[in-house]
Amino acid sequence: MALTEQELRTLDYEPDAGGHFGDYGGRYVSETLMAALSELDQNYQMLKNDPEFQREFDADLATFVGRPSPLYHAQRWSNAIGGAQIYFKREDLNHTGAHKVNNTIGQALLAKYSGKPRVIAETGAGQHGVASATVAARLGLECVVYMGADDVERQSPNVYRMKLLGAQVVPVESGSRTLKDALSEAMRDWVTNVDNTFYIIGTVAGPAPYPQLVRDFNAVVGREVKWQSKEILGRYPDALVACVGGGSNAIGLFYPFLKDTEVAIYGVEAAGRGLSTTEHAAPLCSGRPGVLHGAKTYLMDNSDGQIAHTHSVSAGLDYPGVGPEHAYLKDIGRANYVGATDDEALAAFHEVSEVEGIIPALETAHALAYTKTLAATMRPDQTIVCNMSGRGDKDIFTVAKMEGISLT
Amino acid sequence: MSNTRIQQRMDALKASGRKALIPYIVAGDPTPSITVPAMHAMVAAGADVIELGMPFSDPFADGPVNQRGAERAIAAGMTLPGVINAVAEFRKQDDQTPVVLMGYLNPLIAMGETTFCEACENAGVDGLLIVDMPPEEEGSLVQSAKRHGLDLIYLAAPTTTDARLETIGNATSGYLYYVSLKGITGSSKLDTHEVSQRIAHMRQHVSVPICVGFGIRTAEDAAAISTTADGSIVGTVLVSQVEALANQPEEIPAALQAILQPMRQAMDAKA
């Protein structure tokens, strides 16, 4: 199924009218959701070319988020590794501390332009919930965030942040009381209140058109890297690396480079306690195609087709599915998907904190771990851009706890 | 395809001026051994078709009650082959009552769609309702289902446009499942007047029988819906009863019967 380089350079990398990326994606949902998804699709296809909408989106990215984010040369770390020059795309410097806000601003603006005064979101660790609550406050929209009851207990600082921002946080008691239950509950809310409600999905997963629109809103990351690398290096980087949970920061970086086949692309999944164990969250590395949460994609399930419990040290990567466009890029051979274990990610978390003065998010630490491996195989005149997708302030309690350190 | 067990049953009901009572339970909830006795009990209480849920770990179009039902069934060891075996077991005593398997696509993909449909035919399954497979996404499953004589039942919603109704009407066989609420299985609002109007409208686009589900809880609901629809589908209220008796599963068949009998009587009284 892998395509030739010539084919990869000329593909348009857009989904078909039904939202399919090759065999993947689509709209595998109950009929109760179809009307809402078609309305969203129509609104999006219209607004994405609307100059007024784009102007407002760009203005918010500039003055509210603080874009463009810098492309930073991690010189000491590059020298220590002794291979390729490593650059960080500093999404961690965005308002709210990660790439997530690029997408939530886009979707909240869609809500506003579509005349929906209420937004809802699901959240696992709370990052997407905070980013949604932030933009809802900015635009004066009512905001309800669904969060698994267990996550509400584990992530109390983010729950408080969302409340400070004026959002209502609804703990979901059903099922495993985590992200997937929050997602189901948000779906229920949406089909019941679709007339006045916009559902802000946090990643490039889910039914069409979400994978496409979330990608488009995050693609600002890759577009900036294109001109920044030209400016700084005089050419494109030799390789791009990003972590992949649902895959929104990764696709945002990759998408503008897909036709530039001289640029190698690496997505790094959470290998947890190892890809040879069952305790990981790496559907592209060791799952198989199936249907989950409205899209056909790679996922982790058991032999009966029941969705597997996943494990990762990083809450943001702890998801059994992945965005359908990544499934497509894997099959056609445009992107490589690899894993980094909990231990490798933790080691990179410490190393980059100490050597570069940047505390990365644990999700990002997976990308950093693979960047280190890859850099060591490359020459010093070659370059890697690694997406520093988020900052690690939110993770210091997790890391301290794992290392037996009490912070209170 | 003109004389599947579902179509025969629907035709017979129509000929006698009666409406279909269609109960739904999750196979294997709370334990696999109770499923077949529960099916027979529901037939004895007047069920015309049985919808049997194939448990899935992530039933995001279902309400919390049905989700918990699926979780109990999976925890009790129910699998897709187990669901099909239950139908085969049921068929040993009942070769008349149609059985529809309702669920999500991923377990079918895992089993292999062709293998699944073949096993369904051998066991005496009559129809499939795959919640997360709208006509736009139907693939090899449709061909396999047709080859093995299985009706494919699709959903329609209050928000379904006329253009889509045509597509769905053409794709569906056996009956059309009209989701009476915008929301998810088990929501509490049911507006029977609105449903009647909607059914009258849908009949302009759809020729198969239209059965209504979601939100039917009482005998009065079932009777009111049946004045215009071809059948009433009753799920959440039964799954709630199963949940209440999860620790006394032997009492479940009689308890389901006690819910369905008054519905049957109220529906027949209106007929």
Q: Which residue has the tokens 């679709």?
A: A194
pLDDT for the residue B189:
63
Residue A123 pLDDT class (50, 70, 90 cuts): very high
Name the band, by pLDDT with cuts 50, 70 and 90, for residue A15.
Answer: very high
Last residue of a domain, one of A214, A242, A258: A214
CA–CA separation, B161 and A36 (whole Å): 11
So what's the pLDDT on residue A212? Answer: 98
The pLDDT value given to residue A184: 83
Residues of A in contact with B58 (CB under 8 A): 180, 184, 292-293, 307
CB pairs under 8 A between A and B: 118
The answer to whether the beta carbons of residues B270 and B223 sit under 8 Å apart is: yes
Dump strand ranges (E) for B18-113: 20-26, 50-53, 99-103
> Which of A31, A40, A195, A302 should one mutate to test binding to chain B, selecting the residue with the greatest count of B CBs within 10 A?
A31
Cβ contact B183–A175 (<8 Å):
no
The lowest-confidence range among A38-47, A388-397, B142-151, B176-185 is B176-185
Question: With an 8 Å Cβ cutoff, are B183 and A188 in contact?
Answer: yes
Give the closest of A36, A188, A293 to B63, CB-based: A188
B79 vs A contacts (CB less than 8 Å): 304
Structural domain boundaries enclosing B177: 5-266
Minimum Cα–Cα distance from A182: chain B residue:
B60
Q: What is the pLDDT of residue A151?
A: 86
Query: According to the model, what pLDDT value does residue B182 have?
Result: 59
Q: How does DSSP classify residue B197?
A: H
pLDDT score, position B194 = 84
A193 and A239 share one domain: no
Residues from chain B that touch A304, judged by Cβ atoms under 8 A, are: 79-80, 107, 110-111
Which one of A187, A191, A307 has the shortest CB-CB distance to B57? A307
User: Confidence band (pLDDT; 50, 70, 90) for B2?
Assistant: low
Judge if A286 and A238 occupy the same domain.
yes
Tokens of A224: 């900036």
In sequence order, the β-bridge partners of residue B24 are B51
A135/A224 same-domain check: no
Q: Give buried/exposed letters for B162-174 (b at 16+ CB in 10 A, else e).
A: eebbebbbebbbb
Q: Which of B58, B62, B210 to mutate to test the interface with A (most CBs of A within 10 A)?
A: B58
Alpha carbon of A371: minimum distance to chain B alpha carbons (Å): 34
Q: How far is A110 from chain B (nearest CA, A)?
A: 21
The residue in chain A having the minimum alpha-carbon distance to the alpha carbon of residue B177 is: A31
Please give the average per-residue pLDDT across A294-317, as a whole number: 94
Shared domain check, A224 and A173: no
User: B184: domain CATH number?
Assistant: 3.20.20.70
The CATH number linked to A108 is 3.40.50.1100
Query: Active-site residue numbers of A?
Result: 100, 122, 389
Distance from CA of A356 to the nearest CA of B (A): 42
Residue B271 lies in a domain: no
Is the predicted pLDDT of residue A135 greater than 70, yes or no? yes
Could A30 and B80 be called an inter-chain contact, meaning their C-beta atoms sit closer than 8 Å?
A: no
Q: Which residue of A has its CA nearest to B111?
A: A304
Q: Are residue A297 and residue A169 in the same domain, yes or no?
A: no
**Out of A32, A191, A307, closest to residue B58 by CB:** A307
Q: What Rg value do the Cα atoms of chain B yield, rounded?
A: 17
Q: Are residues A199 and A232 in the same domain?
A: no
Does residue A15 lie in a domain region? Answer: no
Alpha carbon distance B151, B252 (integer Å): 29
Confidence of residue B271 (pLDDT cuts 50, 70, 90): low
The minimal CB distance from A27 to the residues B79, B137, B155 is found for B137
Mean pLDDT computed over A285-313? 95
**Residue B29 belongs to a domain:** yes
**Mean pLDDT calculated for residue range A277-285:** 96
Stretch A82-97: mean pLDDT, rounded? 97
Asked if residue B1 has pLDDT above 50, the reply is: no
pLDDT digits (tens, 9 = 90+) for A151-200: 898 888 899 999 999 999 999 987 778 787 888 889 889 988 888 999 99
pLDDT of residue A155: 84
DSSP A305-319: SPBPP---SSGGG--
pLDDT (tens digit per residue) in B24-72: 999 999 999 999 999 999 999 999 999 999 999 999 888 889 999 999 9
Residue A396 tokens read as: 């210091």
Kindly report the average pLDDT of chain B as a whole number: 93
- Where a domain ends, among A181, A214, A247? A214
Average pLDDT over residues B226-232: 95
Please give, rounded to a whole number of angstroms, the shortest distance from the CA of B64 to a CA of chain A: 7
Do A190 and A322 belong together in one domain?
no
Partner-chain contact A35 B108, CB within 8 Å: no
Q: What is the mean pLDDT of residues A332-356?
A: 98
Domain count, chain B: 1
Same domain, A130 and A109: yes
Residue finishing a domain among A214, A230, A262 = A214
Rounded percentage of chain A residues whose pLDDT exceeds 70: 100
Distance from CA of A34 to the nearest CA of B (A): 8
| Enclosing domain of residue A244 | 68-97+219-402
Asked whether residue A165 falls in the same domain as residue A308, the answer is: no
pLDDT tens profile B233-254: 999 999 999 999 999 999 999 9
Percentage of chain B modeled with pLDDT above 90: 86
The beta-carbon contacts of A71-75 under 8 Å, at least 24 apart in sequence, are A71/A224, A71/A225, A71/A228, A71/A229, A71/A232, A71/A385, A72/A388, A73/A232, A74/A352, A74/A355, A74/A356
Domains in chain A: how many in total?
2
Closest CA–CA distance from residue B161 to any residue of chain A (Å)? 8
Separation in Å, CA B4 to CA B85, B100, B217: 20, 12, 29
Residues 6+ apart with CB under 8 A from B13: B19, B20, B48, B230, B231
Closest Cβ–Cβ partner in B67, B132, B160 for A291: B132
Bridge-based pairing state of the strands A85-89 and A71-73 = antiparallel
Which of A192, A290, A307 is nearest residue B183 as measured by Cβ atoms?
A192
Nearest to A291 among B57, B105, B154 (CB): B105
With contact defined as beta carbons under 8 Å apart, do B170 and B205 qualify? no
Interface of A with B in 146-205 (CB under 8 A): 174-175, 180, 183-184, 187-188, 191-192, 194
- Other Cβ atoms within 10 Å of A50 Cβ, number: 12
User: Chain A partners of B168 at a C-beta cutoff of 8 Å?
Assistant: 31
Taking the CA of residue A148 and the nearest CA in chain B, the distance in Å comes to 13
Count of alpha carbons within 13 angstroms of residue B197, beta-carbon side: 4
User: Does residue B119 contact residue B87 with C-beta atoms inside 8 Å?
Assistant: no
Asked if residue A305 is part of any domain, the answer here is yes
| Biggest alpha carbon–alpha carbon distance for chain A | 58
Give residue A319's region: left, alpha or beta (phi > 0; psi -120 to 50): beta
| Distance, CA of A39 to CA of B106 (rounded, Å) | 26
**Strand-pair partners of A197:** A118
Q: Name chain B contacts of A292, Cβ cutoff 8 Å.
A: 58, 106
Could you tell me if residue A313 is inside a domain? Answer: yes
- Per-residue pLDDT tens digits for B160-205: 999 999 999 999 999 999 998 755 555 556 778 888 899 999 999 9
Question: Can you give the pLDDT at residue B184?
Answer: 52
Q: Mean pLDDT across chain A, nearest whole number?
A: 95
Q: Residue A17: inside a domain, yes or no? A: no
Does A237 share its domain with A202?
Answer: no
With contacts defined as CB-CB under 8 Å, which chain A residues touch B110? 290, 301, 303-305
Question: What is residue A175's predicted lDDT score, i.e. its pLDDT?
Answer: 75
* Residue A309 and residue A200 share a domain: no
Q: Which amino acid is at A304?
A: D
DSSP code of residue A61: I
Q: Are residues A346 and A235 in the same domain?
A: yes
Q: CA-nearest residue of chain A to B188?
A: A192
**Which helix (DSSP H) or strand (DSSP E) does residue A41 occupy?**
helix A31-47
Residue B131 lies in a domain: yes
For residue A37, the chain B residues in CB contact (below 8 A) are none
Please tell me if residue A16 touches chain B, with a CB cutoff of 8 Å.
no
Pick among B26, B54, B57 to test the A interface (most A CBs inside 10 A): B57
Residues of B with CB under 8 A from a CB of A: 56-61, 63-64, 67-68, 71, 74, 79-80, 104-111, 131-134, 136-137, 154-157, 159-161, 164, 168, 179, 182-184, 187
Is the minimum CB–CB distance between A313 and chain B shorter than 8 Å?
no
Give the chain B residue nearest A39 (alpha carbons): B159
Nearest CA in chain A to B72: A175
Average pLDDT of span A392-404: 92
